[in-house]
Every structure is written in C-alpha cells, then in structure tokens.
C-alpha cells in the first residue's frame, strides 16, 4: 500500500536525462487543460511529472484520462496522491508503448508538458499512429512550437511544419516564462493547439513525408535539385514546371500535398 504523502518531503527529483522541467504554475496548467475540447472520448497526458496539469485534467475527465510516464519515481508519487485515486497510469516510454495501449475512440486528445529533447519524436509518433488523434496540444520549447505553426515563406517553416499542418490546423496559443518550471529551463516555452483537419491529405502519409524530407534536406536548393534523387529513381516522376525553380520553404502545405499526390500518380 502506498504511504500518505508528506507535503514537505514528498517530491520528485527532476532528471536531466529525461528532460524534466516540472510545471509549477497551476494557472498555466489550467489554461492548457482548458484548451482540450469538451467532447473528447479519451485524453492522454504525456509526462505528468508531479501532476500539476494532471490534477485539473483528472477533475474533468476522470476515467477518460490516461497518463503516460517513463519515470518510476513520478509514477510512485502520483500513486500516493489522494486526488489521483483510480487514475489510469501507463508506465513506460511514450515512444515505445504500443498503439493498442492508447485510448480508443473517434475523438482522442493528447496533451502534455513535453520533454523538449524528444518533442519532435513525440509529434511523429502521434502522426504515425493507427488512428488519427483529434486534438494534439501542449507545451514545447517556444522556438519549436513556433516552427510547428509556421507558415510557408518563413525561415522557421520546415519538415515538421508541413507534415503536422497537412493533418492539423495548428495555432500558437501563448508563451510561458522560465519561472513557471522547476528546475527552470534555459529557454522560454510555448503552448500550441492542433485540431484535426476536415480535409485530410489524399496522398499517403509515407509519400508526403518522403517528398517533404527530400525537399528540405537541401533547403537552399531549388526543388529541381533537392528532389533529384527521387526523379532519378522514379523515371516517371517529374516535378511540375511551376515548382521546379522554387525552394522548399516557398511551397505551401497545400502545394506539398499536391506534389505528393503527383508523385504517387507518377509512380503507381
């Protein structure tokens, strides 16, 4: 049986190797939690830590909430909290937990104060799941959140910007200062909110990712040069003239989707 927590001593030590910076500002935690739409069928929080955000999420979602935590000390800490009675805790690495263990339903939301050292991996893990997550929101390093939401023609616009926005309407919500965490990170944080689009890509995820990664791998070059390995290995694939002299950052998300469809039609 878990012992009753002692408010003075019952803490979790932040571990640098896990990229832990525990959110301590309850107001910020509440604001993030309130971003989640009301009719979700399940919510998954990644990296609850000491449960500052978890507590408000659990008060609303109860049995619909699942938290994923890799840190055994955090898992044990949450298990000792009276407010967390019957909280669904999934211990393990979010990047490795089988999709079959994720909450199921047509409208699932993922939220968290994401470890900055694996935030991009978390995004791709979410995108490549067996089901399309309806809402993806939470805290990232500010520059990273800005990049995810960046529009074309911006130097921040890149691979993850295109692939994420092909499936989600993404909005940068607000900035969070270093003092809202323990220990404080060396950078500011940013909260973004992504809602699944109605017009999902007609191309496969695999084709879109391939085109986008190749295009941005040499972002200073024109698409004609950056995609040369694809046009050489797929003889029927030729970049439409309207894009040949453009660089990757000049193409909108919609144009990348169109290019990926063109690639599929040329190679199948």
pLDDT in tens, 48-89: 989 999 999 999 999 999 999 999 999 999 999 999 889 999
User: How confident is the model at residue 22, as a pLDDT?
Assistant: 76
Residue-wise pLDDT tens digits, 36-59: 999 999 999 999 989 999 999 999
Give the residue-averaged pLDDT of 172-192: 90
For the chain, give the percent of residues with pLDDT over 90.
77
Q: Does residue 24 surpass a pLDDT of 70?
A: yes
User: Rounded distance, CA 33 to CA 197, Å?
Assistant: 21
Domains 16-196 and 205-267 share a fold: no
Q: Does residue 182 surpass a pLDDT of 90?
A: no
pTM of full prediction above 0.85: yes
Q: How confident is the model at residue 15 (pLDDT cuts 50, 70, 90)?
A: low
User: How confident is the model at residue 26, as a pLDDT?
Assistant: 94
Are 227 and 215 a contacting pair, CB within 8 Å?
A: yes
Tokens 């190797």 identify what position?
Answer: 17
Q: What is the CA radius of gyration of the chain?
A: 21
Q: How many CB atoms lie within 10 A of CB 2?
A: 10
Q: What is the mean pLDDT of the chain?
A: 91
Q: How confident is the model at residue 116 (pLDDT cuts 50, 70, 90)?
A: confident
Are 169 and 197 a contacting pair, CB within 8 Å?
A: yes
- Domain spans, the chain: 16-196, 205-267
How is residue 251 written in tokens? 């193409």
Phi, psi of 61 (to 5 degrees): -100, -20
Are 53 and 113 a contacting pair, CB within 8 Å?
A: yes
CATH 3.40.50.150 fits 16-196, yes or no: yes
CATH 1.10.8.100 fits 205-267, yes or no: yes
Q: How many CB atoms lie within 10 A of CB 85?
A: 8
Beta bridge partners of 196: 168
Query: Could you say which DSSP state residue 252 is in?
Result: -
Q: How confident is the model at residue 19 (pLDDT cuts 50, 70, 90)?
A: low
How is residue 54 written in tokens? 């978890």
User: How confident is the model at residue 7, as a pLDDT?
Assistant: 44
Provide the 3-class DSSP secondary structure of residue 4. coil
User: How confident is the model at residue 268, as a pLDDT?
Assistant: 75
How is residue 240 written in tokens? 């439409």
User: Rounded distance, CA 260 to CA 204, Å?
Assistant: 8
User: Rounded distance, CA 169 to CA 176, Å?
Assistant: 21
User: How confident is the model at residue 109, as a pLDDT?
Assistant: 98
């Amino acid at each position: 049986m878990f012992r009753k927590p002692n408010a003075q001593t019952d803490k979790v030590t932040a571990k640098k190797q896990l990229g832990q910076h525990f959110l301590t500002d309850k107001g910020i935690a509440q604001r993030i939690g309130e971003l989640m739409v009301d009719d979700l069928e399940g919510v998954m929080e990644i990296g609850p830590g000491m449960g500052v955000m978890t507590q408000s999420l659990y008060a609303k979602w109860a049995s619909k909430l699942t938290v994923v935590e890799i840190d055994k000390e955090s898992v044990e800490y949450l298990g000792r909290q009276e407010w967390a009675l019957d909280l669904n805790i999934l211990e393990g690495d979010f990047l490795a937990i089988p999709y079959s263990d994720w909450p199921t339903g047509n409208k699932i939301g993922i939220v968290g104060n994401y470890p900055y050292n694996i935030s991009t991996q978390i995004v791709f893990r979410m995108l490549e799941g067996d089901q399309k997550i309806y809402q993806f929101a939470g805290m990232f390093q500010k520059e990273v959140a800005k990049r995810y939401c960046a529009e074309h023609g911006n130097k921040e616009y890149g691979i993850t910007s295109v692939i994420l926005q092909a499936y989600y309407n993404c909005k940068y919500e607000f900035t969070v200062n270093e003092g809202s965490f323990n220990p404080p990170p060396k950078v500011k944080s940013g909260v973004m909110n992504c809602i699944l689009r109605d017009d999902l890509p007609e191309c496969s995820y695999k084709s879109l990712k391939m085109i986008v990664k190749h295009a941005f791998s040499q972002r200073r070059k024109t698409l004609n040069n950056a995609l040369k390995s694809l046009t050489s290995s797929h003889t029927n694939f030729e970049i439409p003239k309207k894009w040949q002299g453009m660089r990757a950052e000049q193409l909108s998300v919609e144009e990348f989707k169109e290019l990926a469809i063109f690639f599929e039609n040329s190679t199948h």
